[in-house]
Amino acid sequence: MSLSMYSSSVPVCIRYLRNLSALLTKAQAYAVLKKVDEKVLTSARLFPDMLPLSRQIQIASDVSKAAAARLGSLETPKFEDTETTFAELQERIAKTIAFLETVQAAQIDGTEEKEITIQAGPRELKFKGQDYLFGWALPNLFFHVTTAYNIMRHNGVEIGKADYLGA
């Protein structure tokens, strides 16, 4: 079986968003057990100039939905970046997964050479579809999920590699 653009994108995003949701469930349980205000965790950072846990999750969501939308020539769902609680972050992940589950393989497959242009701050970046997926979208998803994992682990949430990788 050969890999396709669809099987390399949408199912991967869904898997890591589900893993991220499971990590958040453990973080919420930890906060309850240790009597820590959840906003202490959702606003936690690894370093003062880094983004907080809530923003890491928002970006993981954004990267996932934008990748499917750009590759599939779909409109990217717009979510406000206002989530500060575990419940709100879980809802965002669920909405992102729900969108991804509507994307069909036929919409993504064959987009290896598709021209993708994105705005990254003041820079305009141009990619072919395959380079965008493997050189931008997936690395960004993994970076933000990993950073979210590290913030939770750094703050005492008992999670490990198996939680990051998922079932």
3-state secondary structure 103-161: CCHHHHCCCCCCEEEEEECCEEEEEEHHHHHHHHHHHHHHHHHHHHHHHHHHCCCCCCH
Q: Which domains does the chain have, with CATH numbers?
A: 10-165 (1.20.120.450)
**Residue 4 DSSP code:** -
- Orientation of helix 138-154 relative to helix 53-72, angle to 10°: 160
Residue with tokens 């997926």: 133
Q: pLDDT tens track of the chain, all 167 residues?
A: 578 999 999 999 999 999 999 999 999 999 999 999 999 999 999 999 999 999 999 999 999 999 999 999 999 999 999 999 999 999 999 999 999 999 999 999 999 999 999 998 899 999 999 999 999 999 999 999 999 999 999 999 999 999 999 97
78-81 long-range contacts (CB < 8 A, ≥24 apart) are 81/55
Q: What is the pLDDT of residues 143-160, one digit of tens each?
A: 999 999 999 999 999 999
